[in-house]
Amino acid sequence: MNPSSIEMLQTAATAADKMGGENLVALDVSEPMPLADIFFIVTGRSERNVVAISDEIERELLETGHKLLRREGKTGGRWVLCDFGDLVVHVFHAEDREYYALERLWKDCPTVPFELPTRPQASSDFAG
């Protein structure tokens, strides 16, 4: 797998997390699909959130010099696909992610690890 793909994945994961993306999964699809290395799948909580997540991923990747080859689905906000060549990003509304089940479709593909920024834990102490 191309090191640039891992760098793009890390950028996309950080951007998705920043916008509240949930259930982030990266799959190594380089074996069955020679046109891409990684499918990155993210869930948004609403149509607006799906669009915001995809916009932030696109902005961050463009800022780091990666070109968007094509985008589909942005107007509906249910499933936005952003193709960056080696990295293909799928941002789903929860119901659509469950329906299309890309993880099941590509179940033989290994996951690709990435790191998310750590956040300070909220204090559970309650002064009363």
Expressed as residue numbers, the domain containing 70 is 3-105
H/E run at residue 64: none
Question: Residue 96 sits in a domain of what CATH number?
Answer: 3.30.460.10
Residue 127 pLDDT greater than 70, yes or no:
no
Tell me how many domains the chain contains.
Answer: 1
In a domain, 32, yes or no: yes
Residue 122 pLDDT greater than 70, yes or no:
no
Per residue in 70-101, pLDDT (tens digit) is 999 988 899 999 999 999 999 999 999 999 99
Beta-carbon neighbour count of residue 59 at 10 Å? 11
Share of the chain above pLDDT 70, in %: 92
Q: What is the pLDDT of residue 120?
A: 59
The stretch 49-68 carries a mean pLDDT of 97
